[in-house]
Each structure stands twice: as C-alpha cells, then as structure tokens.
Amino acid sequence: MVEEVLREEPGKTGDFAVYRATKRTMTTPELQAAVARKLRVPPRAVAFPAMKDKRAVTTQHFAVHGRAPLRITGPGFEAHFVGRMTHRLGPRDMLGNRFTATLRGLEAGQAAGIAARLREVAAEGLPNYFDEQRFGSYTPGGAFFGKAVLQRDAEGALRAYMAQGTSGDPPAAQAFKAAAREHWGDWNTLLRHAPRSNYRSILTFLKQHPNDFRRAVNLITPGLLPLLLAAYQSFLWNRVTSRAVEQRVAPASGPPHHVDIAGEGLVVYRGLPEALRQELRGLTVPLPEHRAAFGDGDIAEVAAAVLAEEGLKLEDMKARLLKRAYLTRSNRPLVVVPAQVDAAIESGGERLVARFFLPPGSYGTLVLKAVVGR
C-alpha cells in the first residue's frame, strides 16, 4: 500500500479542484484517462504530481481546473474532492510517500531478521536506485529505446518500441510484437496485425513513407516518449551510482551485497563507519545528459567509463531525433534514508507488517528488496 503525502493540505479557495484517489491494479496514466473520460476533458487536464505502481493499493492526488463533482468513481478507483489550490498540482507539491507492506508465509525467525534489517537500513540508508517500475519498457538483454535515440538510430528505436516484448504486454500486444519481429518492413502486413493503438498511426504513416523512421518515431504517443527516454537514463544512473558506491565502500565494508534491478546486480552496503555513511548521504549524482555537471572527481570518471561501455560520450546525451521529448536535467541524492520505520511481527512470526516513509522519487520496493534479500 502506498499513500502519497502532500506538503500542504488543499484549502478552500483556488482555481484547481484537488482529489484524493485510491486505485487498484491500474497505472496512473490509466487512472488519468479514466478520470478524464468521466469529466469529459483531455487527459492532460487531469494533473498528477507523480506516478504510482500498478501492482499496489495506492492513494494519490490529482487536480483539475474549475468546478468538479465531490466524488468520481470507476472500475478500480474512487476519488474524493479534498479542497482547492491556486496552482496546477505538480511534483514540488509532494512531501513523499508512506508505504505499508505485508510479508506473509515467513519461516521461523525470518520475520525478526527482516525487521532487524529494516532498522539497519533506516540507520544507514541505501543507494537511491530507480527500481523495476522505471523499466517497464525494457526486457533485460534487449534494446533500450532511449539508447537507440541517443545513437540517432531511428529504426532501432522504432524496433525497440514496436517489436520488443515486455512483461507487461497484454496478449494483443504480444501477438503484434511477435508479428513485427517476423515481418519487419512489411507495413501492410503489420497494419493488419496491429491492435487499436498508436501502432496503427505509425504503420499508416510508414505505408506512405516506408523508410522515414525519424518522422515515424516522432509519431509515438507524446506522453510516452519521456518515459521511454527516462528508462535508459535511469539505467545509466543506476550503473554509475553502483560503481561509485562500490569504489567508496569496498575498503570499509565486508563482501558486497547486491539487489537485482533490470537485470543488473547493483551494490548495496552494510556496516559502514558513521563518517562514511554521512559522506554518502551528502552526495548527489546527476542524471546523465549532455549538460550534466559530474565535476572532476571519481564519480565523473565512473560516469565516463559507463558511457564509453555503451558507445556514448556525455555530449551524445541529447535526444536529437525527437521533437517533443528530452532527457531530464536533475541531481539525484545518492542515498535514500527511510523514515517513520516500524515493523510489526504477527501471526506467531509468519507475517510481518513493515511501514516506512520515503521522499519523492524513491522506491518502496527497493527497500523491500534490500531487507528481504531478493
């Protein structure tokens, strides 16, 4: 369960109506589209400050301009009006997220060990990696759409989007992508296989312009392009951060521990001296993009090495193929420290209820991986 917490509660005045919504088994874009249909407005008119997991019970906020009903409901969600704001709701309005996770079917002594590890993580922190939710468009061992874009390979980017299967694909998409892998370039055939989706618009264009892959890539749904780019940028950030952490902590800690994210084994640490803990907490790592300021220290060296392995340089980190999407420029804290931590052992040790609070942009699933050891 994930509960979004705003910095300030909505008031009684303002042009924007704010709602608190609870959803199950649906993504935030799906919720956005469902609310927009109910209100008969474009999806972009429904403003969410952040994305939330599909496989969770999540409570989050959204805002719409003007008058709106007190309650909005639909399959999988329910939203209630909670007040008004003078501005469009955005990421800066978020204080963070409160997580509650119930672990069941534990063996004797396992719950106590997990509870102790959670307290360790609350004291030490852990690297602030992007977790699996960021990589829904990628299959380990496959191709990143974003990498192809940065290498100015428009056809490769389009293949990654239209022919590479992912774990979240519904059956119709699975069948279409299999056809795309077999019949790539035969746009008439693929159009017959395509489900109702953005794929059809792209294929209709390619029938008339068979080799204009650059324009075809720019026909991908505008709201999806930044997410596809962010997946690769986040993958690079994770790799840079893992190596930088390993260099700094190896002399001061025991054998390395790892968490698995998007097919990568990323370093986490345990038992660091307090001075090194504080040093790590004070560091930020830029998201890789052409203006990123890595400085001239060890993190800059690691970043250059990671990019070189990918066949890239920092000046390549600009989405020149795309007209409506770009890489985010930001510095991300290297360490995340869970707060408000509590672990309750129930049912004679067979169940553990873990609660903790994280700042915006950090992943509760990462904390669970670190404490459960999977």
pLDDT of res. 234: 97
CA 45, chain centre distance (Å): 22
Contact 321, 158 (CB under 8 A): no
180: left (phi over 0), alpha (psi -120 to 50) or beta: alpha
pLDDT of res. 256: 75
Q: Locate 251 and state its tokens.
A: 């002399």
pLDDT of res. 108: 80
Q: Classify 115 as helix, strand or coil.
A: helix
Q: Rounded CA gap, 69 and 174, in Å?
A: 39
Q: Rounded CA gap, 221 and 30, in Å?
A: 14
Q: Is the pTM of this model over 0.85?
A: yes
Q: Locate 264 and state its tokens.
A: 């990568």
pLDDT of res. 295: 86
Q: What is the DSSP string of 355-373?
A: EEEE-TT--HHHHHHHHHT
Q: Which residues of 78-95 are buried (b: 16+ CB within 10 A; e: fewer)?
A: ebebebbbeeebeeebbe
pLDDT of res. 189: 96
Q: Classify 140 as helix, strand or coil.
A: coil
Tell me the domain boundaries of the chain: 2-95, 104-125+337-374, 131-332
CB count within 10 Å of CB 217 equals: 26
Stretch (H or E) spanning 248 = helix 225-249
- How many Cα neighbours within 13 Å face the side chain of 295? 8
Strand partners for 61: 20
By C-alpha distance, which of 369, 364, 268 is closest to 1? 364
CB count within 10 Å of CB 354 equals: 23
Eight-state DSSP code of residue 318: S
Class in CATH terms, 2-95: alpha beta
Amino acid letter for position 149: V
Weakly modelled stretches of the chain, pLDDT under 50: none
pLDDT of res. 374: 55
